[in-house]
Structure 1
Amino acid sequence: MTTITTKDGTEIFYKDWGPKDATPIMFHHGWPLSADDWDAQMMFFLLKGYRVIAHDRRGHGRSTQTWQGNEMDTYAADVAELTDALDLKGAIHVGHSTGGGEVAHYVARAKPGRVAKAVLIGAVPPVMVKSEKNPGGLPIEVFDGFRAALVANRAQFYMDVAAGPFYGYNRPDAKISQAVVENWWRQGMMGGAKAHYDCIKAFSETDFTEDLKVIEVPTLVMHGEDDQIVPIADSAPLSAKLLKNGTLKTYPGFPHGMPTTHADQINADLLAFIRG
């Protein structure tokens, strides 16, 4: 397997496909998944001549099942180590959900020349949890419920998320793909329970406001208007306003998992942004 070993000894698995001199696009997956969640995008852009990279976040997929370091500062530091190891220059960083938070946290700290553009898809910034500063957020009890369900029966919890709100399969007119559900479950169960437990705090309580404010590269914010995991009202429009060079694109009726359920549309819009 292709891996790098970080400063704290964690092995980070990654895929790196395509010509080394082509424009690099790096994909950052959501919780509790892996690089495999980007298959539809990786193949699309590979066949368009791009260099495509995706990694398994620490504690996820084929990377080390860490019991510590499962928070945004370390996630972003891991990305920095990987981009240094691969010497990525002028890269486009695309993040979905938790991966969108990781992108914001990394891009805000990236070395000059490493990043050309960024994309946040169904992403968790600016901050998910409800507080006095973020009255439109989700109550902490929602995330406490995630943690309790993970501890009680992680396998069932992951099946319920995939078969329900993640892809909008709980909607009356949904066209359900059992294969997609089982692939989500497979990815989730590959990771470590402790790392996934910790990551709930990372994606729900990290405040990315200051990250968004300092990002200068062109950034596309894409969000499904029927996102049941990261509700749009308290996420994408707020992020777009905080960005110096942000563009907001929303999709009526699209679910949280729209890179899979609506890959053709998402890929076309990503391509237009990257080429633009």
Structure 2
Amino acid sequence: MPFITNTKAKEQVDIFYEDYGSGQPVILIHGWPLSRKSWEQQVWKIVEEGFRCISYDRRGFGTSSSPWDAYDYSSLASDLNAIIEELELKDAIIVGFSMGGGEVVRYLTDYGPSRIAKAALISSIIPLVKQKPDNPSGVPEDALEGIIDALQKDRVGFLKEFSKGFYNFEENKGEKISQAQLDYDFTIASFASPRATIQAALAWMHTDFRPELENVTVPTLIVHGDADATVPIETSAKQAHDGIKYSTLEVIEGAPHGLNVTHPDELNEILISFLKK
């Protein structure tokens, strides 16, 4: 099985990855609380269009190892850097979904753009989730604390229901999302390290990336659904677009947070067009 070991981490971490195709490398960074498997509808298309597609499991999730600590974004970005260095990637395109958008921004902050040609933020939490006086539309502190409390008391119970909101299930069931997909997501999410699930959630809840947006100096695609109830577009994509100088915002009408699953054709068309520019 292919693993890359991050020997520069505080505690040695083995990151599982999959590497298909050839050509310019595209690195896919998954969201919380899933794994690389969430990119199923994008990997084949990226490879088919002539790119090398690399997807990996964030530490604590999927098949990667699960340290007890170090789920802050700089630690997570160090895993991405280990992959880029070990595979000797250049001119890479880094694509982050939801929480994964944080790794994109923090990587560019900590390591710079020398190996990166472009970036993409898909349904991303960037730049800030939490409500603050200067971010009034963010998620209130007590709601975030409620998520952590639920994860501590009944993690699998919380995860069982979480993906319904992820996909706006009641509105999209049948045509765009199946019960089987929810069951699949639950299996992936429940398999993750309980400790990692909580610590990674704390990272995406409380990290403010607004001061770092100026570090994103490569052409950047931002894709978001205007029906995203998990990460509303006003507090995320629109702010990111305003703060990232070389960014393009694409809005998919009626799409929920998990648009990579519910609207794969629309997302793939936008993404492939950006990759080829």
TM-score (norm 1): 0.95
- Which of 115-124 and 98-107 deviates more? 98-107
Deviations 1:131-165 (A, max 9, x none): 12322211011211111111222222111011x21
Give the match for residue 146 of structure 1. Answer: 147
Q: Give the deviation of 1:108 after TM superposition.
A: 2.9
Contact 2:74-2:110 at 8 Å conserved across structures = no
Gaps of 5+ in 2: none
Deviations 1:246-274 (A, max 9, x none): 11111221000001111011001001111
Q: Give the Cα–Cα distance (whole angstroms) in 2 for the partners of residues 109 and 174 of structure 1.
A: 43
- Which of 151-160 and 104-113 deviates more? 104-113
Q: Give the Cα–Cα distance (whole angstroms) in 2 for the partners of residues 110 and 17 of structure 1.
A: 25
Contact 2:42-2:268 at 8 Å conserved across structures = yes
Contact 1:95-1:123 at 8 Å conserved across structures = yes
Give the match for residue 107 of structure 1. Answer: 108
Deviations 1:110-129 (A, max 9, x none): 34431100000110111100
Contact 2:95-2:104 at 8 Å conserved across structures = yes
TM-score (norm 2): 0.95
Contact 1:62-1:190 at 8 Å conserved across structures = no
Q: Give the Cα–Cα distance (whole angstroms) in 2 for the partners of residues 143 and 220 of structure 1.
A: 28
Aligned length, in residue pairs? 273
RMSD between superposed Cα atoms in Å: 1.4
Flag the 1:149–1:57 CA change in 2: closer, same or farther, 3 A.
Answer: same
Corresponding letter in the other structure for 2:89: L
Gaps of 5+ in 1: none
Corresponding letter in the other structure for 2:255: F
Q: Give the Cα–Cα distance (whole angstroms) in 1 for the partners of residues 186 and 179 of structure 2.
A: 11
Corresponding letter in the other structure for 1:165: G
Give the match for residue 270 of structure 1. Answer: 271
1:231 aligns with 2:238: no
- Which of 108-117 and 88-97 deviates more? 108-117
Q: Give the deviation of 1:172 after TM superposition.
A: 7.3
Contact 1:214-1:244 at 8 Å conserved across structures = no
Q: Give the Cα–Cα distance (whole angstroms) in 2 for the partners of residues 248 and 110 of structure 1.
A: 25
